[in-house]
Chains A and B, each alone.
Chain A
Amino acid sequence: MSETKNINPSVAFNETTMVPDNDFEVRSLDAVCINESQLQHPWWHNFKYSIVGLVFGITFVKAEIISWFRMQEMFRMQTFHMYGIIGGAVVLGALSVWLIKKYKVKTVHGEHIEFHDKKFNKGQVIGGTIFGLGWAMTGACPGPIFAQIGTGAFVVFVVLLSAIVGTWVYGYFREQLPH
C-alpha cells in the first residue's frame, strides 16, 4: 500500500464548497483554516509538526516571548527585545516566502506551495484592537498561552478556556458584527 494517495479532485472541491456563502472571512483568509495539501497521510505524520512546535515552544520560553514583563515593556517602549524578535522574524519570513515564490520551491512531497491574498475587512481594525487589549492584559497571544501552561502556570488554562469562549461568542454573533 502506498504511503500517500491522491484523493479525488471532485471530492476536494465539494469540501471547499461546504463553506457557506455568508462566510465573509472565508476560510482561505484565515491564517491556518486552510489546508492546501491534497495528499492524505497516516495520522502519525502530524508528529513532524509537533517537532516544529517543540522548537517553537523552547524558543518562546528561552527568549522570554511568553513573559508578561516583556509584553509590558514592549507596550511602554521600554525595551527593543520584542520589536527585534517580531521584526527579525518578519524579515527572514518575507525573504523565505520570496525565495519560495521565485524558485517555485515545492513541498517535500512535491506539491506546489500555495499562497492566498487576504482581503481587508473592518474586523482587522475592530477585532485587531480588541485582541491588542487582551494581549496587554494577559501578556499572552494564543501561542504563548500554551507555552505558559507548559512552564507550570496552570492557571493560564483558565485564560485558554476564556479565549475559546471568546472565539465561540464571536462565531455566534459574527453575522451581526460589522465587517
Chain B
Amino acid sequence: MIEFLSQPWPWWVAGAIIGLIVPTLLIIGNKHFGISSNLRHVCAACFPANINFFKYEWKKEMWNFFFVGGIVVGAIIATTIFADPNPVKVAPALAAELQNYGITDYSNMVPTQLVSWESLFTLRGFIMLVVGGFLVGFGSRYAGGCTSGHAIMGLSNLQLPSLIATIFFMVGGFIMANLILPYIMLM
C-alpha cells in the first residue's frame, strides 16, 4: 500500500482530489476554497498599520490557517512515509535547456541549485526567491485570488472574472518562463 502510494501520482488522481476539495469545504463549513487570502490575514493580524485593506476581523478566517497547517503536515508525510527515492523526471527538452543554466540536480521537487540558502545570496537566487515571492503576493492580492481561488474555485462557479484572471496568470507565466527567465537564469 505504502509502496503504491509512494510512486508519483498521475494527473487524474490529483485532479479528482483537488476538484473534490471544492464541495468538501463548502459542505463541511460553507468555506470557499482559496489560499492566498492567508497572506492577507497574516498582514491583518500582525501588521495592519491602520490600512483599510487590513482592517477586518481576521479571526473569523482562522480556518484558513488550520487548512495551510494541514498542507504543511501533509507535505511532511508525503516526503517521509510516502517518500519516493527516484529523482524527479523532467521532460528532455527542459532538461537540455536547464543544463545551460547549470541546473542538473533533480533529486528534489525544487532544484537545489536554485532554491537553497547558498543560492539566496547570489543575484540569480535573490531575484528568483525574493522578487518572485513578492510578485506572487502582490499579484495574487491585486487579482483578488490565486490559482486556488480563481482557477479552481472561481472557474468551478463559472465566474468570468476568474477566467480572465486565470488567462492572465498563464500570460504572465508564459512571458516569464520563455522570455525573461532565460536571462535571469544565466546571471
Partners in one complex: yes
Q: Which residues of A are interface residues toward B (Cβ below 8 A)?
A: 15, 18-20, 22-23, 25, 27, 29-37, 43, 46-69, 71-76, 78-82, 84-97, 99-100, 105, 107-109, 111, 113-115, 117-121, 123-143, 145-153, 155-156, 158-172, 174-175, 177
User: What is the 8 Å Cβ interface bit string for chain B, positions 128-155, against chain A (1 contact, 0 not)?
Assistant: 1111111111111111111111111111
- A56 & B133 in contact (Cβ 8 Å cutoff): no
The chain B residue with its CB closest to the CB of A153 is: B110
Interface mask (B60-81 → A, CB under 8 Å = 1, otherwise 0): 1111111111111111111100
Chain A residues within 8 Å of B65, by CB: 46
CB of A111, distance to nearest CB on chain B (Å): 6
Partner of B130 from A59, A127, A162 at Cβ < 8 Å: A162
Are A33 and B120 within 8 A (Cβ)?
no
With a cutoff of 8 Å between Cβ atoms, the chain A residues found around residue B68 in the complex are 53, 143, 146
Residue numbers of B with Cβ under 8 A of A are 5-6, 8-40, 42-43, 47, 49, 51-57, 60-79, 82, 84, 88, 90-91, 93-94, 98, 106, 108-111, 114-117, 119-120, 127-162, 164-178, 180-181, 184
Query: In the complex, are the beta carbons of B173 and A58 less than 8 A apart?
Result: no
A139 touches B110 (CB 8 A): yes
Q: Return 17 A-B CB contacts under 8 Å, by A number.
A: A31-B154, A61-B109, A84-B12, A86-B151, A96-B23, A99-B23, A107-B27, A125-B168, A129-B168, A130-B142, A132-B168, A133-B175, A141-B136, A142-B137, A143-B148, A167-B43, A169-B138
Asked if A131 contacts B110 (CB within 8 A), the reply is no
Nearest Cβ distance between residue B63 and chain A, in whole angstroms? Answer: 5
Q: Tell me the bound Cα distance from A89 to B16 in angstroms.
A: 6
